[in-house]
């Protein structure tokens, strides 16, 4: 199921990089001597037919030769190794916030349908879906950083992953939260956590909105089922009915949405990271766009698609755990 | 729907036996076919032009992809529909007559949106409508139309009643109407032009001269937000319309033919779904080379069509098993006609709901692309770009706050209307 998709994804990135636009532009700049161009063409196989080029492209990908990134001033693979953990850390924290807040909100909203809590929740969720995330990020930054600073309140840092000036950090895995715990550096840990608050909250809000809406509607659907009526008529307490009987069934569509929302998170990361100068994939991608750094853009696109597909694969596996009826062989 | 169409077939047989074909109806059928063919032709031509330019650009002849398809794309779908309606009329299929009204109104509206010489093409639509109303043509469909319009009007009345009862939908509709009015009348009330800059008054806070302040280049934020309504609404609507047209055509074909076609199309949509929208759009724009609004629109269309294909295909799979399709096939209707005049009108409803919801999403994605520097050329009045300009001065909130609010309200309105309409259309939630 996901292997043809990955092949398709590879084909699309190949087409975008090598067929549309001039592939030579990747290897040539204004300082390249004209007589070297022929050699470059031959060296990179650009004189070969397209399908051969596609295989060359695949071979390079598998061999770990993803090209040179001007923006990061290193090989693309090294750049990914540097930026990827930052983005994943941010996305996972955002996802945790979204799930921890979104699911209870959805349950509350469904169980108290048409009451004041429900209306408030629905407005929050709807606003989250229709809010431009970059605008929300800038507004948060304006309020929590600038205005709090002016008012003399404890303000949140403007951006970055940790306070570079005051705290030292020696990367091990590049996941700051994990590294600081391993090395027992609690100062760094809390510093990193404080730096995470704003970007993660901002990034999590959209996902939170999506999860809340889905949870609410699927919960409402489930609560109408016969087995819920039966459970209630048996005299079970409402809490047991909701958390033991309804929740598990209502989780299935929600889990699908969470998988899909992971793609939204990466999209959001592109926009949030620029604003909070978060040294992750998204900011790298945006900078490479502005400098037309094609190998970086391609690597980023490919990587995101792979993350997205694997997120959906994981969701499929979680299904089995949630619902024994669709467990895979 | 099912019953009505099968009745139609029955009455058609009787009609053919009893009433001789009137010349007026024949003229109507021919006119309608021609109008449809012209529409479809223009639409196809636009697509072919784009493809041709695309190829030329890659061979190295032209650097820009000329985008004329933005409003023209949907014409392919409407045109094909009209061709089939015309041919159905020629074979006196009575259900086709009432589709003449809707089809011609739609294609007329598209011509008007295109502007230029295309406005004259509405005359063809008018001619078809006039011919439809002549007594000779009327005798074929009017009684039947009235008969099955009555319950339909009742249905619409009930829908309107449900709409009136939900304040959120009403609010959404009012906001959207407000935006459209702003987009139309902005030249008459905006104090400054969209690209007018007052170099002596940069970074002014909101005040009497500039009620929402000015940006670092001296542009009046209020005027720019208002002018941007035109551009952003146009992007949202045209992207969704074209994606819907392409997606629907492909989806109907995939669902109807099934088998290998279906399999291939669905695998392709899978691949497209593997990319988050903004990121695929980013990659496409970077491949297209030029950064401007037209290229954003093209990229977003490429990103968005699979949604509609999926939706329509699922719908078609249900519809094609129904009795009226079999009835149409048994009287010898061609595949194209069954798809266009029988199945398509019955599948379009959820697509419309999805399209309304997507407009908000497209709006936000387009603005996001502009924000990261992939969209409008610098200086254009566009919400995302305005925020991008303002972010270096984020302590001066007015440059960011107002465009963002405009965007938020617009997307919110689309979402409110879409949500509401979905609930109203949903037969499960609909009580009588």
Can you give the pLDDT at residue A37?
A: 82
Q: How far is A175 from chain B (nearest CA, A)?
A: 24
In a domain, A71, yes or no: no
Can you give the pLDDT at residue B3?
A: 47
Q: Closest partner residue to A5 among B270, B384, B387, by Cβ?
A: B270
d(CA B370, CA B363): 11
A310 close to B (CB below 8 A):
no
Same domain, yes or no, for A91 and A207?
A: yes
A263 close to B (CB below 8 A):
yes
d(CA B65, CA B110): 22
pLDDT above 60: residue A328: no
- C-alpha closest to that of B110 among B82, B152, B145, B149: B82
d(CA A109, CA B380): 42
- C-alpha closest to that of B99 among B88, B108, B113, B114: B88
In a domain, A250, yes or no: yes
In a domain, A293, yes or no: yes
B268 vs A contacts (CB less than 8 Å)? 8
Same domain, yes or no, for A242 and A264?
A: yes
Can you give the pLDDT at residue A288?
A: 84
Can you give the pLDDT at residue B67?
A: 43
Same domain, yes or no, for A59 and A198?
A: no
Q: Does A309 sit within 8 Å of B58, measured CB to CB?
A: no
Domain stops at, among A44, A65, A86: A65
Q: How far is B34 from chain A (nearest CA, A)?
A: 37
Reported as a single tens digit per residue, the pLDDT across B355-375 is 988 999 999 999 998 988 887
pLDDT above 80: residue A125: yes
Q: State what percent of residues in chain A have pLDDT above 90.
A: 12
Same domain, yes or no, for A33 and A97?
A: no
In a domain, A73, yes or no: no
d(CA B38, CA A299): 44
The angle subtended at Cα B209 by Cα B208 and Cα B214, nearest 5°, is 115
Reported as a single tens digit per residue, the pLDDT across A46-103 is 777 878 888 888 888 888 888 888 888 888 888 888 898 999 899 999 999 999 999 9
Same domain, yes or no, for A42 and A115?
A: no
Distance of CA B159 to the CA centre of its chain: 22
Same domain, yes or no, for A219 and A304?
A: yes
B420 close to A (CB below 8 A):
no
Same domain, yes or no, for A21 and A120?
A: no
d(CA B360, CA A126): 11
DSSP B376: S
pLDDT above 50: residue A255: yes
In a domain, A112, yes or no: yes
Can you give the pLDDT at residue B70?
A: 54
Q: How far is B325 from chain A (nearest CA, A)?
A: 32
Q: Does A270 sit within 8 Å of B279, measured CB to CB?
A: yes
pLDDT tens-place values along chain B, 432 residues long: 444 444 555 555 544 444 556 777 778 888 888 888 888 887 777 777 766 666 665 555 444 444 444 556 677 778 888 888 888 777 777 677 777 888 888 888 777 766 666 777 788 888 888 888 777 777 777 777 777 778 878 878 888 888 888 888 899 999 999 999 999 898 898 888 888 888 888 888 888 888 898 988 888 999 999 999 988 988 888 889 888 888 998 999 999 998 898 989 888 888 888 888 888 888 888 777 677 787 888 889 889 999 999 899 988 988 888 898 888 888 888 888 888 888 888 888 888 888 988 999 999 999 998 988 887 888 888 999 999 988 888 888 889 999 999 999 999 999 989 888 887 776 665 554
Q: How far is B275 from chain A (nearest CA, A)?
A: 5
In a domain, A329, yes or no: no
Judged by average pLDDT, the poorest of A14-23, A222-231, B74-83 is A14-23
C-beta neighbour count of A64 within 10 angstroms: 9
- C-alpha closest to that of A207 among A310, A85, A92: A92
Q: Does A138 sit within 8 Å of B391, measured CB to CB?
A: yes
Can you give the pLDDT at residue A21?
A: 60
Can you give the pLDDT at residue B225?
A: 93
A20 close to B (CB below 8 A):
yes
Domain extent, residue A99, equals: 78-322
In a domain, A70, yes or no: no
pLDDT above 80: residue A129: yes
Number of domains in chain A: 2
Same domain, yes or no, for A214 and A274?
A: yes
In a domain, A164, yes or no: yes
d(CA B129, CA B174): 31
Q: What is the CATH number of the domain that holds A125?
A: 1.10.3720.10
Q: Closest partner residue to B394 among A15, A142, A304, by Cβ?
A: A142
Can you give the pLDDT at residue A22?
A: 67
Q: For A252-270, b where at least 16 C-beta lie within 10 A, e where not — what string?
A: ebbbbbbbbbbbbbbbbbb
A56 close to B (CB below 8 A):
no
Can you give the pLDDT at residue A55?
A: 86
Reported as a single tens digit per residue, the pLDDT across A307-325 is 888 888 888 788 777 777 7
Same domain, yes or no, for A40 and A169?
A: no
Same domain, yes or no, for A124 and A22?
A: no
Domain stops at, among A65, A90, A107: A65
Q: Does B283 sit within 8 Å of A297, measured CB to CB?
A: yes
Name, in order, each residue with C-beta under 8 angstroms of B61's C-beta and a sequence gap of 6 or more.
none
Q: For residue A6, what is the nearest residue in chain B, using CA coordinates?
A: B271
Same domain, yes or no, for A92 and A45?
A: no
B288 vs A contacts (CB less than 8 Å)? 20-21
Same domain, yes or no, for A198 and A87?
A: yes
Q: Does B372 sit within 8 Å of A286, measured CB to CB?
A: yes
């Amino acid at each position: 199921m996901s292997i043809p998709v990955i092949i398709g994804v590879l084909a699309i990135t190949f087409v975008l990089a090598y067929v549309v636009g001039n592939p030579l532009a990747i290897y040539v700049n204004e300082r390249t001597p004209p007589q070297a161009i022929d050699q470059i063409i031959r060296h990179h196989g650009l004189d070969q037919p397209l399908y051969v080029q596609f295989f060359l492209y695949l071979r390079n990908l598998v061999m770990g030769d993803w090209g040179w990134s001007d923006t990061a001033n290193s090989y693309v693979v090294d750049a990914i190794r540097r930026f990827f953990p930052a983005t994943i850390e941010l996305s996972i924290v955002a996802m945790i916030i979204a799930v921890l807040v979104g699911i209870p909100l959805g349950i509350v909203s469904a169980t108290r349908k048409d009451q004041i809590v429900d209306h408030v929740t629905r407005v929050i969720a709807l606003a989250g879906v229709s809010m431009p995330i970059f605008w929300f990020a800038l507004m948060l930054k304006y309020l929590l950083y600038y205005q709090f600073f002016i008012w003399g309140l404890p303000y949140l840092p403007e951006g970055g992953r940790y306070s570079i000036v005051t705290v030292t950090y020696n990367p091990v895995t590049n996941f700051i939260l994990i590294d600081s715990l391993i090395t027992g550096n609690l100062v760094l840990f809390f510093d990193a956590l404080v730096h995470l608050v704003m970007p993660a909250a901002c990034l999590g809000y959209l996902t939170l909105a999506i999860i809340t809406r889905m949870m609410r509607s699927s919960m409402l659907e489930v609560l109408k089922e016969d087995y819920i009526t039966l459970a209630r008529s048996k005299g079970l307490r409402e809490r047991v009915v909701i958390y033991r009987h309804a929740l598990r069934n209502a989780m299935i569509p929600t889990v699908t949405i969470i998988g899909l929302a992971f793609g939204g998170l990466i999209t959001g990361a592109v926009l949030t990271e620029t604003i909070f100068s978060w040294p992750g994939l998204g900011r790298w991608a945006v900078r490479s766009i502005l400098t037309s750094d094609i190998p970086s853009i391609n690597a980023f696109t490919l990587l995101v698609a792979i993350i997205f597909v694997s997120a959906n694969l994981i969701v499929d596996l979680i299904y089995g755990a949630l619902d024994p009826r669709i467990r895979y062989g | 729907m099912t019953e009505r169409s099968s009745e139609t077939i029955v009455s058609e047989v009787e009609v053919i036996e009893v009433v001789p074909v009137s010349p007026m109806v024949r003229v109507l059928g021919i006119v309608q076919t021609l109008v449809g063919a012209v529409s479809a032709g223009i639409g196809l031509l636009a697509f072919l032009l784009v493809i041709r330019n695309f190829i030329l650009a890659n061979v190295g002849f032209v650097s820009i992809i000329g985008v004329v398809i933005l409003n023209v794309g949907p014409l392919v779908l409407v045109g094909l529909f009209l061709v089939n309606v015309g041919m159905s009329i020629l074979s006196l299929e009575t259900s086709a007559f009432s589709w003449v009204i809707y089809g011609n109104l739609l294609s007329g509206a598209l011509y008007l949106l295109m502007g230029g010489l295309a406005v004259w093409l509405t005359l063809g639509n008018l001619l078809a409508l006039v011919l439809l109303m002549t007594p000779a043509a009327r005798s074929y469909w009017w009684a039947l139309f009235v008969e099955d319009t009555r319950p339909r009007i009742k249905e619409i009345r009930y829908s309107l009643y449900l709409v009136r009862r939900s304040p959120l939908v009403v609010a959404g509709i009012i906001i959207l109407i407000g935006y459209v009015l702003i987009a139309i009348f902005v030249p008459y009330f905006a104090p400054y032009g969209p690209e007018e800059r007052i170099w002596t008054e940069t970074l002014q806070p909101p005040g009497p001269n500039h009620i929402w302040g000015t940006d670092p280049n001296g542009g009046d934020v209020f005027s720019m937000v208002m002018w941007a309504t035109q551009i952003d609404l146009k992007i949202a609507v045209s992207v969704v319309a074209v994606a819907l047209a392409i997606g629907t055509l492909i989806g109907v074909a995939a669902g109807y033919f099934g088998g290998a076609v279906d399999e291939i199309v669905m695998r392709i949509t899978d691949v497209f779904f593997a990319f988050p929208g903004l990121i695929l759009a980013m990659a496409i724009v970077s491949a297209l080379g030029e950064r401007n609004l037209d290229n954003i629109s093209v990229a977003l269309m490429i990103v968005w069509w699979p949604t509609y294909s999926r939706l329509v295909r699922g719908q078609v799979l249900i519809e094609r098993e129904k009795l009226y399709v079999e009835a149409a096939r048994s009287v010898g209707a061609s595949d194209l006609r069954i798809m266009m005049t029988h199945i398509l009108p019955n599948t379009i409803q959820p697509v419309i709901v999805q399209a309304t919801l997507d407009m908000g999403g497209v709006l936000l994605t387009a603005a996001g692309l502009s924000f990261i520097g992939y969209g409008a050329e610098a200086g254009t009045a566009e919400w995302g770009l305005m925020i991008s300009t303002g972010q270096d001065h984020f302590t001066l909130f007015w440059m960011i706050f107002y465009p963002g609010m405009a965007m938020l309200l617009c997307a919110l309105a689309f979402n409110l209307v879409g949500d509401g309409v979905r609930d109203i259309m949903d037969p499960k939630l609909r009580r009588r």
